[in-house]
């Protein structure tokens, strides 16, 4: 097949629009979309620092490479790569290596923050202490906490994540299916600044996962191509399958879910404006409650550990 724009051999067929694109036009297409999205999410006046949550995977590596490219000639705006080490021995160390190498290549600072230091436990320990739980139900809040803490430590004005279109459509459907309209209204990207919380931006939120993968391959971005050993137990997997099926049957569904959500968002936010945040009574982190979710989970781990110790000594 030939590229619809120049006639060169096509590398990708965008099923949802029917367009065939060659390598150069595909890369250009992705870059333009991401740049537009990035610009709509940030207000850069110079002097800002943007932290990028980098797992070493394709999404966050592509985010880092693209932001570095967009900001190449923009003096005064700095990027900092931040990797959260969840403590998953069979998976995370390789991801850290990829993130470190990419940061070195892009000439940006790289920091690592481990759950061992924020939670006090590696995820490999958490799954032993609470074998019944879905690991991501711990890991999600712990990661949000660690990423925010790392972003604050590097004085970041924004923290960018690699969330792609598939992830975004899944999150919207998950919140709808749970009837969690407040959470739906408060999904990123964040438009307001709240004390203690670094606003999250998501430059890839309109790029399908497959296109992120292809972009990374075609532009020579090396990334860690592996899946977390605990991912199969995640609830998100069901929604991944649902979104995949909907898109197969009706190309363009993911874009429609996210664009439809964006049109609804002002209405939802009028009903549920950003909640006033308190400092968690335990750790001082931002929370809508008295105690933050990460502290609640830390308490739960401590209780389970005590119960295990008592059991083993009785
Ligand atoms: S899949 Fe779940 S357990 Fe694994 S890194 Fe992601 S959130 Fe953590
Ligand atoms: Zn072309
Ligand atoms: Zn707390």
Main-chain phi, psi angles of 250, to 5 degrees: -145, 85
292 in any annotated domain: no
291 in any annotated domain: no
Q: Which domain holds residue 253?
A: 33-277
50 in any annotated domain: yes
82 in any annotated domain: yes
Which contiguous run of DSSP H or E holds residue 254? helix 253-271
- Residue 250 and residue 239 in contact, taking contact as beta carbons nearer than 8 Å: no
In this structure, the strands spanning 158-160 and 19-22 are: unpaired
238 in any annotated domain: yes
Q: Which residues pair with 297 in a beta bridge?
A: none
Is 135 close to ligand 1, i.e. is its CB under 6 Å away? Answer: yes
Q: Which residues pair with 85 in a beta bridge?
A: 114
311 in any annotated domain: no
Q: For residue 123, which atom of ligand 1 is closest to its CA? A: 3
Which contiguous run of DSSP H or E holds residue 160? strand 158-160
128 in any annotated domain: yes
CATH number for 234: 3.40.50.620
135 in any annotated domain: yes
Is 86 close to ligand 1, i.e. is its CB under 6 Å away? Answer: yes
Is 140 close to ligand 1, i.e. is its CB under 6 Å away? Answer: yes
Distances (CA, A) of 56 to 114, 146, 247: 15, 16, 27
The per-residue pLDDT for range 24-44, each reduced to its tens digit, is 999 999 999 999 999 999 999
The per-residue pLDDT for range 104-163, each reduced to its tens digit, is 999 999 999 999 999 999 999 999 999 999 999 999 999 999 999 999 999 999 999 999
Domains: count for the chain: 1
CA 86 – CA 114 distance, rounded (Å): 6
Centre of ligand 1 to C-alpha 136, Å, is: 5
ipTM for the complex shown: 0.97
Task: Give residues whose Cβ lies within 5 Å of ion ligand 3.
Answer: 280, 282-283, 285, 292, 295
Is 226 close to ligand 1, i.e. is its CB under 6 Å away? Answer: no
């Amino acid at each position: 097949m030939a590229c619809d724009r120049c006639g060169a051999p096509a590398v990708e067929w965008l099923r949802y629009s029917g367009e065939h694109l060659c390598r150069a036009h595909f890369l250009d297409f992705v870059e333009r979309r991401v740049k537009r999205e990035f610009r709509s999410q940030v207000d850069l006046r110079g002097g800002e620092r943007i932290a990028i949550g980098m797992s070493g995977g394709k999404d966050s590596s592509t985010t880092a490479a693209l932001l570095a490219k967009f900001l190449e000639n923009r003096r005064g705006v700095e990027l900092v790569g931040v990797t959260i080490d969840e403590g998953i021995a069979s998976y995370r160390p390789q991801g850290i290596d990829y993130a470190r190498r990419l940061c070195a290549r892009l000439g940006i600072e790289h920091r690592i923050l481990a759950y061992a230091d924020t939670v006090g436990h590696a995820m490999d320990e958490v799954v032993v202490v609470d074998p019944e739980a879905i690991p991501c139900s711990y890991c999600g809040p712990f990661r949000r906490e660690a990423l925010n803490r790392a972003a604050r430590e590097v004085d970041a004005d924004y923290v960018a994540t690699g969330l792609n279109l598939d992830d975004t459509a899944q999150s919207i459907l998950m919140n709808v299916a749970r009837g969690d309209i407040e959470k739906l209204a408060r999904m990123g990207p964040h438009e307001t600044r709240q004390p203690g919380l670094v606003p999250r931006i998501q430059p890839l939120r309109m790029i399908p996962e497959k296109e992120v993968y292809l972009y990374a391959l075609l532009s020579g971005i090396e990334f860690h191509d592996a899946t977390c050993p605990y991912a199969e137990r995640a609830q998100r997997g069901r929604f991944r399958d649902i979104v995949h099926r909907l898109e197969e049957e009706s190309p363009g569904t993911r874009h429609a879910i996210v664009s439809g959500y964006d049109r609804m968002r002002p209405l939802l936010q009028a009903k549920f404006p950003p909640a006033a945040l308190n400092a968690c009574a335990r750790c001082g982190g931002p929370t809508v409650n008295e105690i933050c979710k990460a502290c609640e989970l830390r308490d739960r781990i401590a209780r389970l550990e005590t119960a295990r110790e008592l059991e083993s000594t009785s």
